[in-house]
Structures are given as C-alpha cells and as structure tokens.
Structure 1
Amino acid sequence: MEIYKRDEEHRVAGGVMDPESLMVLMALAKEIRGAGEAEITLRQLSDRLGVSKQTASRRLQDLEESGMIRRITAPGGQKVGITPKGFAALRSLHRELSTILQTKPQPIELSGTVITGLGEGGYYLSQEGYLKQFQEMLGFRPYPGTLDIKLDEGSLGLREMLFRMPMEEVKGFRTEEREFGPVKFVRAKIGKNAAAVIFPARTHHSDVVELIAPVNLRKSLGLRDGSRVTVRVIA
C-alpha cells in the first residue's frame, strides 16, 4: 500500500492527475463555485465521493502537496480553496471534454442483401397510431411497407450494438381490434433517401433489419431480392 501511495503522489506531483484525485478536485470546485474557498469536513467530502474519511484525507493531502489546493484549519473543520494550478487543470479537462463532446458522431454503416420479408411491415405501417408519431418525429410519413435487409456477418455486431444503445421511440397504442407495442428507431440514410432503422418491441436478436422511408425504396433505388445495399446510421 505504501508503494502504491508513493506512486500516486509522484504522478500527481508530476502533473498527471489520476482519476480519483481529479474527482476530488471537481467535487471541491462544485462546493467552492465562485466563493474562492469553502468549509468542508472530511465526513462531507467522503459522503460526496462515496469513500472512507481516510481515503478522502489522503486525496486532499495529494492535491495539497501537488499545489492544486490550499487548506486552512477552521473551527469544526477546514477551509479548502483551489489554487491557480488547480483551476488550470480543471480548464484543461473542460477543453478536452468540449472537444470530445463537440465532435460530430461518425455514421455506422450496415451492409447486406435485400430480401422479401413476411409482409408485416405494410400492416403495421398502415396504422395511423404509428404513422402520425413517425411523421412528427422523423419529418416524413413512412411508405406503408419496410425494406428488409439480411445483414452481412461483419454488420451483425454493429446491429447488436445499435440494439443496445438508447434510441428514439414511438409509443404503443390500442385499437378496437388489438394492442400495438412501442417501436424504437434510429435515423439513417440509404443512398440519398432519408430513412430509419426500426426495432419493434417484438424484435429480438436477428440478422435482419427493417427500414422505413417516405418512398418505396425498392422502386426508388431499383432494388430487388439479392441487391447489395449499405445503410448509414447516425446513432
């Protein structure tokens, strides 16, 4: 444990902040805000971080020794302030996160072969409960039918990844005849056509994806069974 501690102190003092010390610095910044310094007890800090008081104390010592914070003993606790060096570290982190978060996401490309589905797409997409929601969310009224694509082996992992990611969703509804479940979807493009890959609630792991679009994609793109296609998804 002593070797581990000395190694951490060296890394912090050398200017490379480990994640735990950075979390403490961010927690202190939230407490201080524009006040310059703030009173905080080890109990308060340990509760905020979900660590023991001993760990919180060690982290404060690391930050103080590396010049990131200053501490002043106060009645019932201590006052902690962030130094210019500490604020510089936070600004550097802010710049890096801004660059990451502002980077435009790269499209995911799914490749496969056009196949004939079971014909269920036309039935479901004739339901006004779905059509109205898709039009409001996607900006187009879907053609009453889906383009079914059997994915190449190399795209199966990407489909699985999409299936597990947070997606937009149209809500389920009930008619006099039956109940219709929710449908998740991700926006996509095939050729120059706007589209969406849909994942009905009944969908489980599969090697087939279903596309909706404002036009009949088979006619618009001259597709038939066996045609090779690539779908670009922005997740």
Structure 2
Amino acid sequence: MSAAPGPRLPSYIRDHRARLRDRFLAGGPEALPDYELLELVLFRAIPRQDVKPLARQLLDLFGDFNRVISAPAARLREVRGVGDAVICELKVVEAAAHRLSRARVIHRPVLSSWNALLDYCRTAMAHAEIEQFRVLYLDRKNVLIADEAQARGTVDHVPVYPREVVKRALELNASALILVHNHPSGDPTPSQADIDMTQQIRLAADALGIVLHDHLIVGKAAELSFRSAGYL
C-alpha cells in the first residue's frame, strides 16, 4: 500500500509559494530579494511548512544568499530546522553555480575572457572559510586546460610548494600559469608570504620557459591582481 499523503499546506502558504514562483519566472532572480530566493530553494527540502522564518534566520547568521549556500555543512547543521534535506538542496545550488561558472572558462582562451575567469574564481573561493590555493594551467594559446586545487590550509595560511606547481605544469604540458587563492578575512591585500611564494614560483617557472601570467587573491567583495598591482 502507498503511504497516505501528508496534511495539505494552509492556503496562505500555498498562495505565497505560488506568488514567489510566478515572480521568479516572470522577472528572474532580480525580482526577488535574497530571503525570497532562499525560500524558493527551501520549498523542495521542506514541502509542508512555512520556510520564511528559516530563510531569514540563515541570512541573519551567514550574511547573504551566497554565504548561505557556501556555508560548510557542519555549520549549517547547527541551525535549528536544518537537516540533511536542506543541506542537500543548498549544496546542489552551490555545485550548479560552480559548474556553470567553470563551463564559461574551461577549454577557452582565458586572457580574452578575463571577467568570466574572475566570476569563476569568486564563485569557487570568495566565501570559503579556509585558505585554498589553486593553479590554472594554460596551453600555448592561453586556453585553460586544467584547474587544480593544490592545497587547503587554515583561516590565514595555506602551504604551497613551488616545485610541485611547476612539476605539474610539465606533466600537463602547460605553457603558462595563473595562481589563485582566497583570503577568508575578506581583504585581498597580499601578505609578504604571498609575495615571496609568488616570486619563488615565477623563478621556477621562468627556468623552464613557463609563463606566470598572474596571481589573483580573492576576497569576499574584491580581488587583487599581482600584475595589475605591480607585484609581477
């Protein structure tokens, strides 16, 4: 026998959900503030109750829509009302955002689609709570052939080994590199350790005829380019 259907939603909740869906379909995401966009995501995870209070609670705790979907599962689980279903829906949205932004840059000339690259780096790293270091490997035409996470660290440090970065470039037959890492503090200003590490990688790459195009530091609201700032 099939399970009996659950109780029907009160009409005011059904009507509210219908109005949100209609506004989203008619006007796109710009038609909804963060808490209503988050409600749309939560509808599937919590089908039989009002999700507006939880949406507002999550935004109060984490700050904005992007920070909610990027929050670690362990931190989300500490919020009352958040279980596996909610976490799954949020992480599906996060994964979709990452894949869409990556598709705009992978196997494409990076230097001629710089804004798409910045969007990808923001999506992948801006809201991470620990430092991550990635290397973008390019071929002779500056087409992105690989994007690899080299290391994960703490809230303010990530270990990077220049020899491993260059060794991997040789394995991929890459002709150029772009380094990317995030600052969880939100401030993209490079530390002296960032500057020293970049120069070590540049020297190792130069010795093998590999070009270091740039090093991007991603903050929560801004990015810094080593080349534009005069560090390279």
**TM-score by shorter chain over 0.5:** no
Task: Give the strand-richer structure, 1 or 2.
Answer: 1
Task: Give the helix-richer structure, 1 or 2.
Answer: 2
User: Over alpha carbons, which structure has the higher Rg?
Assistant: 1
- TM-score for the superposition, normalised by structure 2: 0.26
- TM-score for the superposition, normalised by structure 1: 0.26
If asked which structure has higher relative contact order (CA below 8 Å, sep 6+), I would say 1
